[in-house]
Amino acid sequence: MLSERLHKAINEQINAELWSAYLYLSMSMDAEAKGYKGVANWFYVQWLEEQDHAHILMNYLNSCDAKVELKPIAEVPTQWASVLDMFRETLRHEKVVTSLINNLAAIAQEDRDFASSNMLIWFVDEQIEEEENARDMIFATESVEGDKYGMYQLDKELAARVYTQASPLAKSAE
């Protein structure tokens, strides 16, 4: 059984994941408005992934017979000065999310809640990947900074990114 503290923290994380999704959707729309269809696609995939993260946590609370409490989603920024600024903000944001996930894992460990600890391992691993992806995008964007053709090629490459459903959801659909 979930402790009240962990239950509340997971509900807060659901809200944080939905805020993240909203942030990435906003970045996608800003990139699209600036003519970067590939960058817009990259952030659109991020939007889908963040929704998956919220869904996984909601499924977990439901499986524990714990109430999911959806809260209003706070406003997000709607424009950025450049694609590089978008990716830099992405890394800053993912570092915040990592700290939130680590906090959840710490609570579960303190509670000796092994089921929750086990579920949260996926999120801990996912955050390593999220930060790495953001760092890679910063490097790629910095590499073509000031080079219109290079940015065109990068944008074209990012258009090929496809959404893959998060593995915990794929398992639950079987």
What's the confidence (pLDDT) of residue 26? 98
Dihedral of CA atoms 104, 109, 68, 61 in degrees, nearest 10, equals 130
Give pTM, 2 decimals: 0.93
Domain count of the chain? Answer: 1
Query: Residue 172 — very low, low, confident or very high, per pLDDT cuts 50/70/90?
Result: low
Cβ neighbors of 123 (< 8 A, separation 6 or more) are: 53, 56, 101, 104, 105
DSSP-derived letter for residue 67 is: -
Q: How far apart are CA 22 and CA 147, in angstroms?
A: 30
Among candidate residues 95, 122, 119, 98, the one with its CA nearest the CA of residue 109 = 119
Residue 170 lies in a domain: no
What's the confidence (pLDDT) of residue 52? 96
What are the pLDDT digits (tens) for 63-115?
999 999 999 999 999 999 999 999 999 999 999 999 999 999 999 999 999 99
CB 86 within 8 A of CB 151: no
Residue 33 lies in a domain: yes
What's the confidence (pLDDT) of residue 166? 83
Say if residue 133's pLDDT is above 70: yes
What's the confidence (pLDDT) of residue 169? 83
Q: What is the mean pLDDT of residues 136-162?
A: 96
Query: Residue 173 — very low, low, confident or very high, per pLDDT cuts 50/70/90?
Result: low
What's the confidence (pLDDT) of residue 171? 64
Q: How far apart are CA 145 and CA 135, in angstroms?
A: 15
Q: The domain containing residue 81 runs over which residues?
A: 4-162
What's the confidence (pLDDT) of residue 174? 53
Q: What is the largest CA-CA distance in the chain?
A: 56
Residue 169 lies in a domain: no
Q: How far apart are CA 6 and CA 1, in angstroms?
A: 10
Residue 174 lies in a domain: no
What are the pLDDT digits (tens) for 22-68?
999 999 999 999 999 999 999 999 999 999 999 999 999 999 999 99
Dihedral of CA atoms 57, 20, 105, 3 in degrees, nearest 10, equals -50
Residue 168 lies in a domain: no
What is the Cβ-side half-sphere exposure of residue 87, based on CA atoms within 13 angstroms? 19
At 81, which CATH number? Answer: 1.20.1260.10
